[in-house]
Amino acid sequence: MASITLDSLTKSYGQTEVLHHIQGEIQHGEFIVIVGPSGCGKSTLLRMVAGLETVTSGQVSIGDKVINDLEPADRDIAMVFQNYALYPHMSVEQNMAYGLKIRKFPKAEIKRRVEQAADILEIRDYLKRKPRQLSGGQRQRVAMGRAIVRDPQVFLFDEPLSNLDAKLRVQMRLEIRKLQRRLGVTSIYVTHDQVEAMTLGDRLMVLNGGYVEQFGTPIEVYEKPASVFVAGFIGSPSMNFISAQASKGQLTLPDGTTLASNTSANGPVTLGMRPEHLKQHGSGPIQLEVDLPEQLGATTLVHGRISGTELPITASLNGIHAASSGDVLRFDAPVEQMHIFDAQTGKRIE
């Protein structure tokens, strides 16, 4: 059983602690995405699981076995790197076979596995080529193939798609997802791209500054972001945040507008509203003075300020919408789609 347990996992470089007591349980066969801004410690965490970084304190286990001190090769994992890390002097075939060769697999078995993986990834025609003779997408497939042939307990991916162009990225994303479903191998996937995270993960671990902000399914993370950080990071366009005063279930915005809500909080809070959840309504309480409409075709993003203030706010309207600079649009803020956060800690208040 290839479940993975991270228990109070901590990493320091010298005096600087970059990961703080990371906690998490990953089920067998699950696809976990670690997502967060650049420098938050995603790669470091992944590499600790891989055995490429030492563990400062805490434990990593695969199944029931603590693997802190195991060599990478002995962890039964495979990893796909951002730059693919293919061996440039070996052919595609040799690249895929290398790990098996070292493990002294019989020749016939190596051949069988390489061909099978090549079929799955549709790279059979390139087996004799060197990596430099392949396109980015093909190299990406080879890197995946190298991971697949080993038939490991765990796949680790470190931003494997970030060197591809946008279109290919979408395509490969789908393929990775299908492949993982098909093979049922427990996977950890690192990315800074929230769209990739949302579409790929069974669950997301949102990381910020070396802390886990939230660990949950994409829907949970979207619908019930645990903190201002998660709420702002997940979802596009980004959530609007307005500081407000809460009392007796009512929210008072800085411009004096009052909104009904169901919060039990009292005192200063941060109100979060996703742009797509603002409902245009002729007598809505929120008045948006348009600065700039962005026509995206399917939707129109209206960037502006709350009338009479400098508070920025964005709304997303369906279809093409003729708004121009200076117009004032009015919106309703549906109670069930409000997110209320503690103004100090940024944590969600139910």
Ligand X SMILES: Nc1ncnc2c1ncn2[C@@H]1O[C@H](COP(=O)(O)OP(=O)(O)O)[C@@H](O)[C@H]1O
Q: Please say which residue, 58 or 152, places its beta carbon nearer to another protein.
A: 152
Kindly indicate which of the ranges 38-46, 58-66, 126-134, 238-246 contains the residues binding ligand X, using the contact rule CB under 6 A.
Answer: 38-46
Shortest CA distance to 261 belongs to which of 252, 250, 275? Answer: 250
Instruction: Tell me how many residues contact Mg ion (CB under 5 A).
Output: 1
Evaluate whether 95 touches 146 at the Cβ level (below 8 Å). yes
Contact between residue 123 and residue 92 where contact means Cβ atoms under 8 Å apart: yes
Which whole-number Å values give the CA distances from 53 to 104, 146, 161, 210, 243, in the listed order? 26, 21, 22, 15, 41
Minimum separation from the CB atom of position 235 to ligand X (A): 20
176 binds, among another protein, Mg ion, ligand X, none (CB under 5 to 8 A by kind): none
Q: Of 1, 8, 13, 178, which lies in the binding site for ligand X, with binding defined by CB under 6 A?
A: 13
Binds ligand X by CB under 6 A, chosen from 27, 39, 103, 266: 39
Query: By CB under 5 A, is residue 314 in contact with Mg ion?
Result: no
Contact call for residue 99 and another protein (CB under 8 A): yes
Q: Select the residue interacting with ligand X from 4, 9, 26, 41 (CB under 6 A).
A: 41
In the stretch 143-162, what mask flags binding to Mg ion with x, by CB under 5 A?
--------------------
Question: How many residues bind to another protein according to rule CB under 8 A?
Answer: 20
The tokens for 157 are 């991916």
Instruction: Determine, following the binding rule CB under 6 A, whether residue 15 of this chain makes contact with ligand X.
Output: no
Using CB under 5 A as the binding rule, whether residue 44 contacts Mg ion is answered as no
Using CB under 5 A, pick the residue from 43, 140, 153, 180 that binds Mg ion: 43
Of 48 and 239, the one with the shorter C-beta distance to ligand X is 48
Name the residue nearer to ligand X (CB basis): 35 or 149: 35
The CA-to-CA distance between both ends of the chain, in Å, stands at: 36
- Does 77 participate in binding another protein (rule CB under 8 A)? yes
CB 158 within 8 A of CB 79: yes
- Asked if residue 79 lies in contact with residue 50, where contact means CB atoms within 8 angstroms, the answer is yes
Distance from C-alpha of 214 to C-alpha of 203, rounded to nearest angstrom:
10
Single-letter code of the amino acid located at 73: A
- What's the closest the beta carbon of residue 85 comes to ligand X, in angstroms? 16
* Residue from 309, 174, 170, 323 nearest 253 by CA: 309
Min. distance of Cβ 36 from Mg ion in angstroms? 10
Closest of 271, 292, 288 to residue 279, by C-alpha: 288
Instruction: List binders of another protein among 8-67 (CB under 8 A).
Output: 50-53
- Nearer of residues 36 and 293 to ligand X, judged by Cβ: 36
Locus of tokens 């991916």: 157
Considering the rule CB under 6 A, would residue 87 count as an interface residue with ligand X?
no
Q: Cβ 95 to ligand X, closest distance in Å?
A: 24
Residue ranges in contact with ligand X by CB under 6 A:
13, 18, 36, 38-44
Residue ranges in contact with another protein by CB under 8 A:
50-53, 71-73, 77-79, 81, 83, 85, 87-89, 98-99, 102-103
